[in-house]
Structure 1
Amino acid sequence: MQAGLVWRRNPRYIVALLVTISITIYILIFSNIRHQDFEGEGNSELELRIDASEERYNKVLRSREGLIRIYGPDPKDIYLFPPDIAPWPPYTVWDFFPAAFNCPHEIERVGALGDGGKWVCGLSRVAEEPNCIVYSFGVNYESSFEAEVLKSTKYCQIWGYDFSVSTFGPEIPEALSNRTHFRAVGLAGENTYGPEDDPPMYTLETLMHNNGHSHIDILKIDIEKWEFETLSAFIRPYISSGRPLPFGQLQLEIHIWNKTFEQLLRWWESLEAAGLRPFWTEPNLVYLNYHRDQATPDLAEYSFLNAKGNNIFISDHPEDQSSSSYREVHHPHAPV
């Protein structure tokens, strides 16, 4: 009775209301279908952001090649730090390797603001991950980074290695030490741990095998220039086979002592070929301040995201290894 009265008095209102309800139902159904389509095709919002970052990163690669042509034109002709002579080249080596990849999550300083802290992409992604694994090479009795990782996560286990000290630093609270593991050994490109080898050195592959690990979420390396040998040996088989590296991100201090620009470029391009993308960098000004007579910033901190495969930082379904949001990067000098 009342419905008929409303219809006779306000027919346009009733029609508009019915149209609005119909459109709303249609949008909800269509949006759900589109969401299912995206998930089925692996085109989640996170993966789309990774793809967009990859496109921007490729633009930077083209700019690098242009810079090499200007100041080379061959890489062997480029100085790491040009001498102060006319014409004055307005660059240093680090300008060729900007941290141009966008982390798709929050970026935060983990650990001390001075030496020891690292910039991490999306620590929240492993905050409650039950199988979270962290490796830290180069402890040097300063463990503010490791301590904050432990405090910010519920389950992360940290494996630390450094032959120059006998334990983690004092920053790690006793209540969280049950999630830490330490060995006084070094990281290298080949195993040397016989009776006469002091200190004993292990490859990353060997340590992961010994620990029963197939994947590392966060890998921190500060090993005083041995990163070149170590990472070259480790990633070579992954490049050859096309497999993704078994870690999600890498916090790395690079020491270019006694290196040429050409050597650094070839090594850096191998990192890129393996899927590593730098999202943060800063020069080590503490080192420069205490070695002012050298007058060149030979050390720089870099943070890399592994953009190949389906690790937890680039995929909402890290257990699904069937798809990849990674696109191949082609370099004129890329390793074979």
Structure 2
Amino acid sequence: MGSRLRNIQARAAEHGRLRTGYTNGNRPMRSPNWVITSHSEEHVRRAAELWGGEPEQWSPLNSTISQWRVLTKASSIEALITPGDPLNQYNEMWSKGGCQRRCDGETELLTRQPCLCAARFGEDWHQQKKGTVCSTTSRLNVMLPDLSGMGMWRAETHSFYAAQEWGGMVDMVLAGTDGKGFIPVNLRIEPRQRVANGETKKFPVVVVELRGITPRQALAGPVNAATALNPSMAGQQRAAIEAPRPDYLAEAKGALTSDDVRDVWRKASAAGHVDPKGSDDLSKRLMALAAAKDEESKQHEQKDDEPGGPDAEGVYEGEVVETNEQSSGWPAAAQPGSGARR
């Protein structure tokens, strides 16, 4: 195990941003779909292949550094919440000179004063006009498993209502996983509206929701990386743990008759553990056991019935042979005695 610097916090590189808006010239615009921006042209072009849109070069406001962006056609994208606490939230006020205020809801951290917005406008300060109060800013670091690179992507929202939902969701996940392991989620832009003072305001909210796993699984402990990347396997893995596969051969060897062996095969077939056509190895071995049971039974009958001549009326006793697939319990192409004996 290698050693690490103890005074430096390890973190993955940031590949880009997941945005709910874009600039058209100098005019900010809301978007019903995700806008993905990055310094990497490769990442943005791959995102366009996955979620639609046309990659283009772009410079953020008040910046001369060119980046790449794509206005996708997807309102929902798949992501992974990574180990650790992926969320940070502050009430912030920015200007061209940088961050002027950063508040944790109680204390403005740059001046160490009590929350300035609450002191001036009360508990409903967030309903004031933008620019006069801080914006509730939430930043969620996630991994996009279908893009190249092992870095992080930052989803950011300035919605007061999304901040409540993001915090609640992440806190519940962390309570179950203790910040260990990955959690598969969907990041979905959902249109909302609010009526206040006789006015209806429409706005987008980013919803973070579990993807492919249940709350029981998310709260039961860390999810391994394989399950997080392919959540559909979680149910199969759980079923395998809860219901281990029976030892059908042991059951068949302990059976008294070939009919009992056929019952074992029917049980395996109902559980999906054998090929219905009987072409798998387990079916062949079960058919061989059934054939052996039939042979043993015939040998016992011959010993009991010797010399096996006609009865008093000169009639020989006949043997009834089942030929119907349903009555035998075996696939038609795999009847005992049709090449299954060993």
Q: Into which bin does the TM-score normalised by the smaller protein fall? A: under 0.3
- Which is richer in helix? 1
Larger relative CO (CA 8 A, sep 6+): 1 or 2?
1
- Which is richer in strand? 2
Structure 1-normalised TM-score?
0.21
Larger radius of gyration: 2
